[in-house]
């Protein structure tokens, strides 16, 4: 990586953090509806993985999707506008927090039924294999999704057909309020790969450099045509499952302990120690990001609501008369 590339990663992580902190405020003010699942604490996972994908690689994830949306190149303006339900949002205000996508950037959503996007990822990878396109489908999911049947059907068939799939389990240790020990027979999720005959690895998801390296190795393996690979990223979410989380299932000391070694701090220290950037440079980026996020909020708030008649658009593709 050259210096610009290092700085870009820092910029993205800080941008995700600030977009989400502002989103939390807007949620408290009632400007964002529905559920809001923050990615704060997990930024190194998404930023690291997406930084090593090729443009033709497809990305699909679960409902905690603001971070990956930004990593894939959706502008903070469009993310914020979607959160506010505006016509200028990446899903035209029809998707909301959990359903962001921009297929022109090969980001295929934002899926809110736990585990349901794993078979969909498998199908997208099938398309690329069918057309002999050199692309990997990167499918991300929480450790909670590894307990639903969809996971097992998709991992099995994906391997039977040796599809170009990188399964990325973001193990943030809690599925809502249920800890991984209380939910999964094996707490190290990568062990589940063995049952489906594919290699796996587990990486410290708080350290972006380690995530990058592990993701690169995994992608190289898949791209070589050997079939799927499961990469587990061990991480932690600093905020609740969603905004309405009483957090009775974990102690504040536990959260504090993780926050003290957060992904942005770790990367900050790495950049300074290796003389890639000075603290002043990084602070300047922080300030610049705050301005960017202010502008995104301004854009979203001043954007139009979807037109009333858009209620009936995009339900079917062709002119099928649904009113007959």
Partner 1 sequence: MALITMREAISQALWEEMERDPNIFIMGEEVGVWGGSYAVTKGFYDHFGAKRVRDTPISEAAIVGGGVGAAIAGLRPVVELMTINFAFVAMDHIVNQAAKMHAMFGGQMKVPLVIRTTSGGGRQLGATHSQTPDAIFAHFPGLIVVAPGTPYDAKGLLKAAIRSDNPVLFIEQATLYQARGEVPEGDYIEPLGKSKIQRPGVDVTIISYSKMLEISMKAAEQLAKEGIEAEIVDLRSLRPLDMKPVLESIKKTNRAVIVEEGWGSYGVGSEVASRIYEQAFDYVDAPVKRIAQKEVPLPYNRQLEQSALPQVEDVIQAVRELVPGRG
Q: At closest approach, how far in Å is the CB of 108 from partner 1?
A: 7
Instruction: Pick the closest to residue 8 from 295, 289, 239, 231 (CA basis).
Output: 289
* Single residue of 2, 4, 29, 103 touching partner 1 by CB under 8 A: 103
- Give the number of residues in contact with partner 1, rule: CB under 8 A: 48
The stretch near partner 1 (CB under 8 A) out of 2-10, 44-52, 63-71, 107-115 is 107-115
* Single residue of 5, 56, 160, 195 touching partner 1 by CB under 8 A: 160
* Single residue of 23, 118, 136, 211 touching partner 1 by CB under 8 A: 118
Cβ(146)–Cβ(68) under 8 Å?
A: no
For residue 226, give the DSSP letter.
Answer: I
Q: For residue 195, count other CB atoms closer than 10 A to its CB.
A: 12
Q: Tell me the β-bridge partners of 171.
A: 234
- The answer to whether 120 contacts partner 1 (rule: CB under 8 A) is yes
Task: Draw the binding track, 288-317, toward partner 1 (x: CB under 8 A; -: no contact).
Answer: -------------------------xxxxx
Q: At closest approach, how far in Å is the CB of 46 from partner 1?
A: 19
- The answer to whether 56 contacts partner 1 (rule: CB under 8 A) is no
Q: At closest approach, how far in Å is the CB of 90 from partner 1?
A: 8
Torsion angle of alpha carbons 32, 299, 90, 104, nearest 10°?
A: -160
- The answer to whether 31 contacts partner 1 (rule: CB under 8 A) is no
- What residues from 58 to 87 belong to the interface with partner 1 (CB under 8 A)? 58
Report long-range pairs for 314-317 (Cβ below 8 Å, ≥24 apart): 314/92, 314/94
One-character DSSP codes across 123-159 = HHHHHHHHTT----EEEEEEGGGGGSHHHHHHHHHHH
Structural tokens at position 152: 């097992």
Q: At closest approach, how far in Å is the CB of 315 from partner 1?
A: 5
One-character DSSP codes across 249-300 = TS-HHHHHHHHTT-HHHHHHHHHHHTTSS-HHHHHHHHHHHHHHHHHHHHHH
Residue 14 vs residues 9, 86, 167: alpha-carbon distances, Å = 9, 24, 25
Rank residues 118 and 289 by Cβ distance to partner 1 and give the closer one.
118
Q: At closest approach, how far in Å is the CB of 265 from partner 1?
A: 35
Q: At closest approach, how far in Å is the CB of 152 from partner 1?
A: 8
Q: For residue 71, count other CB atoms closer than 10 A to its CB.
A: 25
Mapped onto helix, strand or coil, the DSSP state of residue 110 is: strand
- What residues from 139 to 158 belong to the interface with partner 1 (CB under 8 A)? 149-150, 153-154, 156-157
* Single residue of 26, 125, 208, 211 touching partner 1 by CB under 8 A: 125
Q: Which residues bind partner 1 (CB under 8 A)?
A: 58, 89-95, 99, 101-103, 108-110, 113, 116, 118-128, 130-131, 149-150, 153-154, 156-157, 160, 313-318, 320-324
């Amino acid at each position: 990586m050259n210096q610009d590339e290092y700085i870009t990663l820092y910029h993205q992580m800080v941008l995700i953090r600030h977009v989400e902190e502002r989103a939390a405020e807007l949620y408290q003010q009632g400007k964002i509806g529905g559920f809001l699942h923050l990615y704060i604490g997990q930024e190194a996972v998404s930023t690291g993985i997406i930084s090593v994908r090729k443009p033709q690689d497809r990305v699909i994830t679960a409902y905690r999707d603001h971070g990956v949306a930004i990593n894939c190149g959706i502008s903070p303006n469009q993310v914020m506008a979607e959160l506010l339900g505006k016509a200028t949002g990446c899903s035209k205000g029809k998707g909301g927090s959990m359903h962001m996508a921009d297929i022109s950037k090969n980001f295929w959503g934002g899926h809110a039924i736990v585990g349901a996007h794993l078979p969909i990822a498998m199908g997208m990878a099938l398309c690329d294999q069918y057309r002999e396109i050199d692309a990997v489908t990167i499918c991300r999911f929480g450790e909670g999704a590894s307990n639903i049947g969809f996971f097992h059907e998709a991992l099995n068939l994906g391997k039977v057909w040796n599809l170009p799939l990188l399964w990325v389990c973001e193990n943030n240790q809690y599925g809502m309020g249920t800890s991984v020990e209380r939910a999964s027979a094996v707490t190290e999720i990568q062990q589940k790969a063995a049952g489906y005959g594919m290699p796996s690895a587990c990486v410290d998801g708080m350290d972006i450099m380690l995530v990058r390296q592990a993701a690169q190795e995994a992608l190289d393996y898949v791209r070589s045509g050997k079939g799927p690979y499961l990469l587990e990223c061990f991480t932690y979410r600093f905020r609740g499952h969603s905004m309405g989380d009483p957090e009775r299932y974990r102690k504040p000391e536990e959260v504090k302990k993780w926050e003290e070694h957060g992904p942005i701090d770790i990367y900050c220290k790495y950049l300074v120690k290796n003389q890639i950037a000075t603290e002043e440079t990084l602070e300047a980026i922080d300030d610049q990001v705050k301005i960017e996020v202010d502008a995104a909020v301004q854009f979203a708030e001043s954007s139009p609501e979807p037109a009333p008649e858009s209620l009936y658009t995009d339900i079917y593709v062709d002119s099928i008369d649904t009113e007959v």
